[in-house]
Structures are given as structure tokens and as C-alpha cells.
Amino acid sequence: TRGSMQTTAYLTRSVGEVCSGMFVGLFMNSKNYNGSFDWGLSFEQVCLCFAVPAVIMVPVSALMVHEPQAVVGLDGKKGLKCGEYFSMCWDLIKSKAFFYAILYMFLSPVIGGISTTASSQVKINWAGVENFQNQMFSLVGNLLFIVGLWLVKTRYLNTSWRKLLMVTMIFLNVVDAFFSTLTIFAVVRNQYFYLGETVLTEIPSAANFVVSTMIN
């Protein structure tokens, strides 16, 4: 199904994020990157490490990715004419379900995408988060995100998406408000406490992410 295939794709992407988090935490934690290690890769070496797989993907994409045409137009021939495509799009836009999807895609970032430019300064100056600890918690967060994607794929794809969105949105905002408020008002200013939010929110974030991307 579309949901299962899409979740598998995001699982694969999250595994790559885990690898990148390990790379940054181990090899980009020197003094040059505001880290605590006495050793690390230079910026040129980092660029070289990323350039090698990028170059390899060029022939791999050209030679190993095959996408045969499967769309049949109204005249029975392969491929859609421009007018046929726009006609199909207009029919889709006029449907009630698609109208609600457009509303969600417009209102979700307007309401839920509100953020503050001070968040990074709160993390660094008030919570005192260091680079290595930040990367290690990000690594754990990515692993938990993978677990969340797997749970959605195996258990919750047939659950009401409205309920999943509602429960995860409320939970994520309540947890974020708790940790942020205690840090901002100097009740608890500890980097491990501040980063602990990641451990609690990654699994529900995964569920919210999957449903949101399926709607989009």
C-alpha cells in the first residue's frame, strides 16, 4: 500500500540521518566546530567525505534506476497530453476531499509552524548544550524516530489519521512547553534535562510526520 511504501522510504532516510549524526558527533566535534575534542576532520576533509558518495550516485542513478512509462492517455497511447493532465487536475481540485487536504496543507504550517529565533540561543546559552551531547541525543532521537516509523507501519496505518494527528499534536506541544518553560525561567538549566525532550517526543513525532506527509 501507499502508506507502507512511504513509511519504508522514510525509514531508509532516517537510517541515513543516524549515520550522518554519528559522523558529525565523532569527526566534527573539534575546537574548530565549537566542540570538545582535540582532534577532528578539517572542513576540506569533510567535503571530500561527502563528495565521494555524491559522485558515485551519478552513474548509479543513470544506469540502475529504471522508470518505464505506465500512464495511458485518453486516446489509448502512452503519456498524457497537457490538456488531459490539466483536466484531471481540475477534477481532482473540485473534489471535497482534496479541498480539505488543501486547507490542511495551508493551515498546518500557518498555525503549527510558528517558532522563535531565540530557540538556538536558549539551547546554547541558557541550557548550556554542548556539541557532542547535542549530536548524541540527536542520534538517539533518530533511532527512536525509526522505531516510531516502524510502529506506525506495523500497527497504526489503519488507525484514524484524525485521532493520530490530534493526540500527537497535543502531546508534542505539552511536552515542549514543559521543558522550554522550566529552562527559560531558570527553574532547571541543565543540558541533559533540556535534551531529554528529544527522547520523549521522537516516537509521536514520527507518527505525526507520517500522517502529515501522506496528506501532503
Q: What pLDDT sits at residue 175?
A: 93
Asked if 208 and 164 count as a contact pair (C-beta separation under 8 A), the reply is yes
Q: What pLDDT sits at residue 171?
A: 94
Residue appearing with cell numbers 497535543: 170
Cα torsion 138, 143, 145, 146 to 10°: value is: 150
| 128 Rama class: left (phi>0) / alpha (psi -120 to 50) / beta | left
Q: What pLDDT sits at residue 79?
A: 63
Mean pLDDT for back-to-back runs of 10 residues, the chain (216 residues): 74 86 85 81 90 92 78 58 83 85 84 81 90 86 90 85 88 92 93 92 90 76
| 180 Rama class: left (phi>0) / alpha (psi -120 to 50) / beta | alpha
- Rounded Cα gap, residues 79 and 81, in angstroms: 7
Asked if 212 and 151 count as a contact pair (C-beta separation under 8 A), the reply is no
Give the three cell numbers for residue 47: 567535503
User: Helix (H, G, I), strand (E, B), or coil: what is residue 37?
Assistant: strand
- Rounded Cα gap, residues 26 and 17, in angstroms: 14
| 40 Rama class: left (phi>0) / alpha (psi -120 to 50) / beta | left
List C-alpha distances in Å: 157 to 6, 33, 65, 89.
11, 41, 28, 27
Q: What pLDDT sits at residue 71?
A: 55
Q: What pLDDT sits at residue 58?
A: 92
Amino acid, res. 131: N
- Rounded Cα gap, residues 135 and 19, in angstroms: 11
Q: What pLDDT sits at residue 127?
A: 92
